[in-house]
Structure 1
Amino acid sequence: LGLAARVTHLTKSFGTGAGTVTALDDISVGIRRGEFTAIMGPSGSGKSTLMHIMAGLDAPTSGTAWIGDTDITALNDRDLTLLRRRKAGFIFQAFNLVPTLDVKANILLPFDLDGRKPTTPEQHRIQDLVYDLGLEKRLTHRPHELSGGQQQRVAIARALATEPDLVFADEPTGNLDSRTGREVLRILQGASANGQSIAMVTHDPIAASFADRVLFLGDGRIVADKPRQTPEEISAHMLRTEQEMAA
């Protein structure tokens, strides 16, 4: 299968001296190609930090991170930006939409940044995404004219528009009602069935149950790595992890 992204002996600390907090503690893990991976754990377990380092948005204290066959910890800012733009899509809780651009221009932004126009197949796929996400009547609206849930759906369409190898999603259903949330999770499932690799941080057992694989973090380490789970199995596991962390 190969790995779309991986980290080896990854450690991330914040602060110095007695005030040092270790967010990630010697983690080695990979995101498999064409697989939908959920990353779960209690608050403070390091899941968002892990995703940010995997995505090249943050640097580790020690250890190495790869996207595909490229060691991203060794890249300069310019090369890292180019690699992220060509290989990865991002869905974050802060939508990072450009306020002066309408919905359509926000969705097409990755193409503009890359200095190209979408091909005909890409245009068709973008139309499908817009329709599936219920945005077809919103294309000329600016972000401030949209609800939080609509802005989140625009961010999802933008992240998937270029069909990137790798999609990083941080709580992608956090601002959505349950019906739209399920639609988004089905779109992410479809993207992984199509060969894209999805890494999603979530605290929602129902969202995680859509994934092929669930990684559980606790105290900056991976405490379990499971194949597809039911929401009930995930909830039970989360509860055990929290009780062990509290003990």
Structure 2
Amino acid sequence: MNDISQQIPLVRSTPEPPSDLVVSAHHVVKQYGDAANPVTALGGVSLGLKRGAFTAIMGPSGSGKSTLMHVMAGLDTVSSGEILLAGQRITGMNDTELTKLRRRQIGFIFQAFNLVPTLDVLGNVMLPFELDGRTPTAAEQGRIDTILATLGLANRLTHRPHELSGGQQQRVAIARALATSPDIVFADEPTGALDSRTSREVLGLLREAVNSSGQSIAMVTHDPVAASYADRILFLADGQIVLDSAAMSPEQVSRTMLNLEQVSA
């Protein structure tokens, strides 16, 4: 196998104290299929995501990057290993506990936006509170108003998703993800359905959320430009983290991905 680390400058992260980590995974294995013919999506992955950082997760198709995000977010279970979110062990939680955790401590941004078509902008943004059976505090409402204004949505609150452009819909999804001030926001290909200009705007908004309010973001992407907005980039191949790099330019990301695809071929 080619040594990718010799081809691309690599800065490996140093271990962080547990208090500095928003999510940590310890020897996580995820297998699909039956015992006789298991398919390993993650093969003993261990990592920690630092609070207030923007992490990109990349890799060739089938590398396990989406599976890694799903198990860290409690959207899927692990076959073995342990995942901690904000100090809580989420592996082993039941469905009710996981639902509450996702609602209160995690934000999600998806490529397909996942907005409720019958709700207007404000209804979609307030949905996490509605599902949790509570109204925002005065401080939370003030923060939500600021987010809506910052994202240019203050004059669109009564519009429904079909009345918005793709970029505006993604802004609503970002506002909804940030509304509850979650411990971490998971973004799954958040710019995949957007044109290049709108993608840059959305990525800039995510970067600003990290810079201005210390939001923690983990983003799965195949786009080198998107990955270049991150503080740290994790590269997966065959269910393993094969590179753990500090920020890279889009050109460096592209070269790394090409090398990984050649090795995996």
Structure 2 length-normalised TM: 0.86
Per-residue deviation, 1:82: 1.3
2:6 — aligned with what? none
Matches within 5 A, 1:199-210: 199-210=218-229
Give the length in aligned residue pairs: 246
2:242 — aligned with what? 223
2:162 — aligned with what? 144
2:131 — aligned with what? 113
1:80 — aligned with what? 98
2:62 — aligned with what? 44
Matched AA of 2:216: S
The DSSP-based 3-state class of the residue aligned with 2:116 is coil
Matched AA of 1:172: P
Equivalent pair of 1:135/1:154 in contact (CA under 8 Å): yes
1:97 — aligned with what? 115
Matched AA of 1:138: R
Equivalent pair of 2:86/2:183 in contact (CA under 8 Å): no
- CA deviation vs aligned residue, 1:207-238 (integer Å, no higher than 9, x gap): 11110100000111000000111111111111
Is 1:168–2:225 an aligned residue pair?
A: no
Q: Say if 1:231 and 1:127 are closer, same or farther in 2 by CA, change over 3 A.
A: same
Matched AA of 1:6: S
Matched AA of 1:199: A
Moved more, 12-21 or 25-34: 12-21
Q: Say if 1:146 and 1:157 are closer, same or farther in 2 by CA, change over 3 A.
A: same
Equivalent pair of 1:133/1:183 in contact (CA under 8 Å): no
Is 1:239–2:258 an aligned residue pair?
A: yes
Equivalent pair of 2:51/2:215 in contact (CA under 8 Å): yes
Moved more, 210-219 or 60-69: 60-69
Q: Say if 1:152 and 1:19 are closer, same or farther in 2 by CA, change over 3 A.
A: farther
State the alpha-carbon separation in 2 of the partners of residues 22 and 149 from structure 1: 36
Equivalent pair of 1:38/1:201 in contact (CA under 8 Å): yes
2:8 — aligned with what? none
- CA deviation vs aligned residue, 1:168-225 (integer Å, no higher than 9, x gap): 0001111222222222222222222222211000111111111010000011100000
Equivalent pair of 2:112/2:193 in contact (CA under 8 Å): no
Is 1:195–2:214 an aligned residue pair?
A: yes
Per-residue deviation, 1:139: 1.9
1:56 aligned residue (55, 68, 74): 74
State the alpha-carbon separation in 2 of the partners of residues 74 and 15 from structure 1: 20
State the alpha-carbon separation in 2 of the partners of residues 148 and 195 from structure 1: 26
Unaligned residue ranges in structure 1 (runs of 5+) = none
Matched AA of 2:193: N
Moved more, 92-101 or 124-133: 124-133
Matches within 5 A, 1:8-47: 8-16=26-34, 19-47=37-65
Q: Which runs of 4+ in 1 moved over 4 A?
A: none
Equivalent pair of 1:133/1:184 in contact (CA under 8 Å): no
State the alpha-carbon separation in 2 of the partners of residues 57 and 17 from structure 1: 22
State the alpha-carbon separation in 1 of the partners of residues 207 and 140 from structure 2: 19
Aligned-residue CA RMSD (Å): 1.8
The DSSP-based 3-state class of the residue aligned with 1:81 is helix
State, as a whole percentage, how many aligned pairs show the same letter: 64
Equivalent pair of 1:152/1:175 in contact (CA under 8 Å): no
